[in-house]
Structure formats: structure tokens, C-alpha cells
Amino acid sequence: MRLLNILVICALVLAASLVYKIKFDSTLQAARVAKVHNQLRRERDAIAALRAEWAKLDTPGRIQSLADRHLALQPIKPTQFDTFDNLPARPPTPPPGSDPIGAMLAPGGPATTGSVPAPPAPR
């Protein structure tokens, strides 16, 4: 009977220590999760601040004032633009079924390559 009591007490102490270890590990994991959440919140805040700064730097008025101050640009003249009627004609399209690149690569085609020419034959 005494041996049974001692074994039960040992089992209870072992179970209590196991429960304490599990509680300690879960508390440690909760602290890690909270730390990661805080880091994530800080990163999101930093991203929001950088986006706000980018929006401020990217405003057209600011860019225009910088261009006026640092670049010697002339104003656009209406004569710089033309109509589509004055564009050159589009080159003719090859007929369907023809292969202009294949014709250049075909045997008997031009023999020009980018390689070094062969040395002349000795006499």
C-alpha cells in the first residue's frame, strides 16, 4: 500500500511538472507571437510612411518645379505635333506562308556569318 502511494505521488509530481512545462512553453510561444505581431505592425507602419513619402515626392507639381529649376527645357510648341496623315506608309506585309527569316537561313542563302574568316591557303 505504501509503495502504491509513493508511485501515485511520483506520477502526480511528474504530471504537474509536465503540465507546468507545457504552460511555460505555450506562454513562451504567445510571447513570440506577440513579438512577431509587433514587428509586423511596425513594418506596415513603415511601409505606409514610405508610401506617403513617395506620394509626396511623386506629385506632378513638385516634379515640374524641379524640372523648371534644374533643366533648361524649352516649352512645347504646337508645331511639334503632326497628324497621322503625314506618317510614312507602312511597309508591305509578306504574303501568308512565306518565311523571310527562313529564306535568309536556307542553304544556298547568303554565306555571311559573324565568324572569323579562314586564313588564306599557303602557296
Contact between residue 67 and residue 73 where contact means Cβ atoms under 8 Å apart: yes
pLDDT single digits (tens) 40-80: 999 999 999 999 999 999 999 999 899 889 988 888 888 88
Answer whether 12's CB lies under 8 Å from 6's CB: no
pLDDT at residue 112, as a whole number:
58
What average pLDDT does range 102-117 have in this prediction? Answer: 64
1-46 tens-digit pLDDT: 899 999 999 999 999 999 999 999 999 999 999 999 999 999 999 9
Name the grid cell of 82.
503632326
* pLDDT at 117 (0 to 100): 65
C-alpha 24: how far from chain center: 41
Cα separation, 72 vs 54, in Å, equals 25
The whole-angstrom separation of Cα 61 and Cα 7 is 83
DSSP class of 23: H
Q: What's residue 114's pLDDT?
A: 61
Check residue 115 and give its pLDDT.
Answer: 63
